[in-house]
Amino acid sequence: QRVTQPEKLLSVFKGAPVELKCNYSYSGSPELFWYVQYSRQRLQLLLRHISRESIKGFTADLNKGETSFHLKKPFAQEEDSAMYYCALSGTGGYNKLIFGAGTRLAVHP
C-alpha cells in the first residue's frame, strides 16, 4: 500500500489552474481522500472520492486504470495556500489512513 505525491511544492499565481498529483498502489478497492492543512491548523478532510462532490472549487476523480486521484481547481485563490495530503484507506470504514508525502501549494497574488 502506497500513496505517491511527486511534487513537494506547487507554486502558482492567483487565478491559474491547479493540479496536485496523487498516485496510489493498493491490492483491492481503496477509498481515496484529500486532506488539507492550513497554516497553524489541524488536518481536515477536503474531499473523498465516494462523495463525488466539489469542495471549495476542488474536484478529484478516481482513475482506477491509472491508479490516480489528482486534485484539481480551475482558478486558484490565495486562501488555497496550504499543505495537501492524499490518503487511502481500505473499504469498510474506520480503517487506517495511509498518507502521501504531501504537496505544499503556494498561490501568489
Q: Calculate the CA dihedral of residues 58, 64, 66, 68 and round it to 10 degrees.
A: 30
> Near other proteins by CB under 8 A, which window of 13-21, 59-67, 72-80, 93-101?
93-101
Q: Which helix (H) or strand (E) holds 82?
A: strand 82-89
Q: Is position 97 an interface residue for other proteins (rule: CB under 8 A)?
A: yes
Least distance CB 30 / other proteins (angstroms)? 14
Q: Which of 45, 53, 61, 66 binds other proteins (CB under 8 A)?
A: 45
Outline where the chain has alpha helix (H).
none
Q: Is position 56 an interface residue for other proteins (rule: CB under 8 A)?
A: no
| Cell (9 digits) for 24 | 496510489
Q: Which of 73, 85, 88, 107 binds other proteins (CB under 8 A)?
A: 85
